[in-house]
Amino acid sequence: MNRHTVVFEPSGKKGDVQEGATLLEAAHELGDDIESVCGGKGVCGKCSVKIDEGLLASHGIEWSGQVLSPPADEEAELLSRRGLSSEYRLACQARVLGDVAVFVPEASRRSRQLIRKSTIERTIPVRPAIRKYYLELSPPTLSDVTADYERLITELRRSSGLEEVIIDYAVLKDLSHILRSADWKVTLTVWKGREIVRVEPGYVDGSYGLAVDIGTTTVAGYLCDLQTGEVLATDGMLNPQMAYGEDVISRISHTMKEPDGLAGLNRAIVDGIGELVVSITGQLDLTPGDISEMTVVGNTAMHHIFLNLDPVCLAKSPFAPTVSGSLDVKARELGLTLEQSTNVHVLPVEAGFVGADNVGVLIAEEPYNQEEMVLIIDIGTNGELVMGSRDRLLCASCATGPAFEGATIEFGMRAAPGAIERVRIDRESLEVQFKVIGSDEWNTVSSSVKAKGICGSGVIEAVAEMVKAGIIEKGGRFSRKLASSRLITAEDGPAFIIAWANETALGQDITVSIEDVRAVQLAKGAMYAGARILMDRLGITGLDKIILAGAFGSYVSKEHALAIGLFPQCAPEKVYSVGNAAGEGARLALVSVDKRREAEQIARKVEYVELTVEPRFHEYFIEALSFPVPSVLSKP
Ligand code: FES
- By DSSP bridging, strand 327-330 and strand 13-18 are unpaired
Task: Compute the distance between CA of residue 50 and CA of residue 89 in angstroms, rounded to an integer.
Answer: 6
pLDDT in the model for residue 192: 96
Select the CATH number that applies to the domain covering 130-201 from these four: 3.40.1190.10, 2.90.10.10, 1.10.3720.10, 3.10.20.880.
Answer: 3.10.20.880
Å from CA of 195 to ligand 1 middle: 23
Contact, 374 vs 547, CB < 8 A?
A: yes
DSSP state, residue 205: -
pLDDT in the model for residue 243: 82
Task: Compute the distance between CA of residue 440 and CA of residue 431 in angstroms, rounded to an integer.
Answer: 19
Q: 208-346 sits in which CATH class?
A: alpha beta
Ligand 1 proximity of 387 Cβ (cutoff 6 Å): no
SS (H, E, C) 557-577: CHHHHHHHCCCCCCCHHHEEE
Å from CA of 91 to ligand 1 middle: 7
Ligand 1 proximity of 494 Cβ (cutoff 6 Å): no
Task: Compute the distance between CA of residue 29 and CA of residue 45 in angstroms, rounded to an integer.
Answer: 20
Give how far Cα 296 sits from Cα of 193, 349, 428, 608, Å: 21, 11, 51, 22
Burial of 231 (0-12, 13-18, 19+ CB in 10 A): middle
Q: List the domain boundaries for the chain.
A: 3-108, 130-201, 208-346, 403-520
Burial of 32 (0-12, 13-18, 19+ CB in 10 A): buried
pTM: 0.85
Ligand 1 proximity of 375 Cβ (cutoff 6 Å): no
How many H helices and E strands in the chain? 17, 29
Give how far Cα 277 sits from Cα of 294, 302, 447, Å: 10, 18, 37
CA atoms within 13 A on the CB side of 79: 22
Closest ligand 1 atom, CA of 39? 3
Report which secondary-structure segment, H or E, holds 601: helix 593-605
Å from CA of 75 to ligand 1 middle: 10
Cβ within 8 Å of residue 203, ≥6 positions away:
38, 43, 44, 134, 185, 187
Intrachain domains 3-108 and 130-201 with the same fold: yes
**Angle 248-257/261-282 helices, nearest 10 degrees?**
130
C-alpha triplet 390, 392, 394: angle, nearest 5°: 125
Ligand 1 proximity of 46 Cβ (cutoff 6 Å): yes
Task: Compute the distance between CA of residue 372 and CA of residue 388 in angstroms, rounded to an integer.
Answer: 8
Å from CA of 164 to ligand 1 middle: 24
Ligand 1 mutation pick, 23, 82, 92, 104, max ligand atoms within 8 A of CB: 92
Q: 3-108 sits in which CATH class?
A: alpha beta
CA 268 remoteness from chain centre = 22
Report which secondary-structure segment, H or E, holds 607: strand 607-608
pLDDT in the model for residue 118: 62
Residue stretches of the chain with pLDDT short of 50: 629-636
Task: Compute the distance between CA of residue 120 and CA of residue 283 in angstroms, rounded to an integer.
Answer: 31
Ligand 1 mutation pick, 34, 47, 132, max ligand atoms within 8 A of CB: 47
pLDDT in the model for residue 323: 93
pLDDT in the model for residue 568: 86
Of 18, 99, 14, residue with least CA distance to 65: 99
pLDDT in the model for residue 440: 84
